[in-house]
Amino acid sequence: MNVRAINRRVIEQFRAGDPIEGMHRDRLVLLTTTGRRTGTAHTTPMMFHPDGDRILVVASNVGAPEHPDWYLNLVADPAVTVELAERSYSATATPLHGPEYDRLWAELTRLYPFFADHARKTSRTIPVVAVHR
């Protein structure tokens, strides 16, 4: 499976307003981060969960032992661009910690049990990131 090719296709379909094979368009966000080594923009499609005036994204990396690149990028530079449906805006990404993390992780794994499956596959703590204007 070529994840980069799949992501390119998803990004193209999302921006064109087309249906996205195997995904719910209304739960998809395109998150653009700045590469921590290259300084270039990198866009990644991912699922999000609305949380008031912000969205939450989960850096599960399907339970891989390492964090996904997009997460490492936003830790280095929290300024991101969000594309949701027909709107795009600049935002700040903040990894959550402590009681807020615990509360939201419990909620996210209740709503989306596959995140708990991902957590069982790895020894790392899976980050939850709040993205807000």
pLDDT for position 1: 64
* Per-residue pLDDT of the chain in tens (133 residues, 90 and over written 9): 688 888 899 999 999 988 888 788 889 999 999 999 999 999 999 999 999 999 999 999 999 999 999 999 999 999 999 999 889 999 999 999 999 999 999 999 999 999 999 999 999 999 999 999 9
Report the first-to-last Cα separation within the chain, whole angstroms. Answer: 34
> Is 104 buried (19+), middle (13-18) or exposed (0-12) by CB count in 10 A?
middle
d(CA 6, CA 1): 8
Positive or negative: CA dihedral 80, 84, 23, 119:
positive
Stated pTM of the model? 0.93
DSSP state, residue 98 = H
Handedness of CA 23, 29, 34, 36 (dihedral sign): negative
Contact between 56 and 49 under an 8 Å Cβ cutoff? The reply is: yes
